[in-house]
Amino acid sequence: MTDHVLSIPSPPAPPRPRSRVAVVLLSLLVVLLLGASVLTIVLFVGAKEEHGLEVQRLDRTSRSLTDAEGRLAETEQTNDTVTDRIATLEAANAELHKCADPAKESIIAARSDDEEALRPAVRRAAENC
Amino acid sequence: MTTPEPDRLFTPPPLMTSPALTPPGLTPPPPTPPNGVPLPYQAAPPPTTGPSRAPVVALSALAAVFALVAGLFTALYLGERTDRDTIASTRADQERTLANVTGRQEQADATLETNRSRESTLTTQHDLLTQCVEAAKGYFALPPGQTPESSRLFRVMYDVCPQI
C-alpha cells in the first residue's frame, strides 16, 4: 500500500545571485543619491548665505544711492538759489553802473585835473545819479 | 486490497494533470495512484518566495527618499541662485546709477563753488557800487556849494568809486 508514494520534485533553487546583484546595485544607487543629496544641501546652504550677503550689499548700495541722490538734489537746489542771487546781483549792479561809472570817471578826471573829461563826466553823473 | 496487475498498469491521462487545464485559483488534485488507493497526506511544499525581498524594498525606498531630497534641494538651490543673480543685477544697476550720481555731484559741487565765488565777487562789487552810487546821488542832490556833507560825500566817492 505504501510502495507507490509519488515523489514530487523539489523546485529549482531560487536565483540568489540575481537578488544579491540587485541589492548591491541598489546600495550603490543609495550611496550615490545620498552623496547627491548632501551636495545639493551644501550648495543650497551656500547659495542661501550668498543670497543673504547679496541682499545686505544691495541694501547698502540702495542707502548710498539714496543719500547720494539726496545730496545731489540739495546741491542742485543750492546751486539754483545761488544762480538766482547772481542774476539778481548782476541786474542790480548793471543798474548801479549807470550812475557809478560816470561818478568813477568824474573822480578819475578830478584826480588827474583833466577838465575836459571832468565836465562831461560830471554831467552824465548828475543825469544818471 | 488487490495489487493491480502489471500489464494493466494505469497511466493517468495527461490532460487531467496538466496545469494549463486547471482552473485558476484551484490547486490540481493530488495524483491518484494506479491502484486507486489515495496517497497519504503530504504537506504541500511552501510557496517558493525566493530570497527575502525586504532589503530590496528598503533600499528602493531609501533611494526614492534620497532622490526626492536631491531633487528638492536642487530646485531650492537653483531658486536661490536665480534670486541672488537677480539681486546682483539690481545692485550692479544701482552701482552704475550711483557712479553716475557721484559724477554729477562732482560737477554740481564744482559749479556751486564757481557760482559762490562769482556771487562773492558780485556782492563785493555791489557793496562798492552801492556806496559809490549812494554817495554820488547824495552829492548831486545837494545844492551847489561846499558844505561839510558835500565834502564827506565827495570823499566817499573819491575813495570808493575808483575801486569799481
- Name the residue ranges covered by the structural domains of chain B: 58-161
Q: Which three cell numbers stand for residue B153?
A: 560825500
Residues 90-129 of A with CB under 8 A from B: 90, 92-93, 96-97, 99-101, 103-104, 106-108, 110-111, 125-126, 129
Is residue A125 in some structural domain? yes
Is residue A95 in some structural domain? yes
CB atoms under 10 Å from CB of A43, counted, come to: 17
Out of A27, A55, A86, closest to residue B87 by CB:
A55
DSSP codes joined into one string, A58-82? HHHHHHHHHHHHHHHHHHHHHHHHH
3-state DSSP helix/strand/coil % of chain B, to nearest 5: 70, 0, 30
> Scanning the structure block, which residue is given the C-alpha cell 556782492?
B123
Positive or negative: CA dihedral A16, A18, A19, A23: positive
Is residue A64 in some structural domain? no
**Distance of residue A45 Cα from the nearest chain B Cα, in angstroms:** 8
Q: Tell me the C-alpha distance between B140 and A124, whole Å.
A: 11
pLDDT band at residue A17 using 50, 70 and 90 as cut-offs: confident
**CA-based nearest residue to B129, from A117, A127, A103, A106:** A103
The 10s digit of each residue's pLDDT in A38-96 is 999 999 999 999 999 999 999 999 999 999 999 999 999 999 999 999 999 999 999 99
The 10s digit of each residue's pLDDT in B1-52 is 344 444 444 444 444 444 433 444 344 444 444 455 444 445 444 555 556 7
Q: Which long-range contacts (CB under 8 A, 24 or more apart) does A7-12 make?
A: A8/B42, A8/B45, A10/B45, A11/B45, A11/B48
ipTM score of complex: 0.73
Asked if the Cβ–Cβ distance from A93 to B102 is below 8 Å, we say no
Q: Which three cell numbers stand for residue A75?
A: 546741491
Reported as half-sphere exposure (CB side, CA atoms, 13 A), residue B4 has a value of 14
Is residue A97 in some structural domain? yes
Cα A21 to Cα B48, B51, B66, B142, distances in angstroms: 20, 13, 21, 127
Averaged pLDDT for residues B90-100: 97
Into how many domains does chain A fold? 1
- What is the phi-psi region of residue B45: left when phi exceeds 0, alpha when psi lies from -120 to 50, beta otherwise? beta
Backbone angles phi, psi at B18, to 5 degrees: -70, 125
Closest alpha carbon within chain A to B125 = A93
Is residue A123 in some structural domain? yes
- Domain range spanning residue A116? 89-129
> Scanning the structure block, which residue is given the C-alpha cell 571832468?
A118
pLDDT at residue B144 tops 90: no
Is residue A10 in some structural domain? no
Is residue A37 in some structural domain? no
Q: Tell me the C-alpha distance between A68 and B152, whole Å.
A: 54
Asked if the Cβ–Cβ distance from B157 to A99 is below 8 Å, we say no
Q: Tell me the C-alpha distance between B119 and B113, whole Å.
A: 10
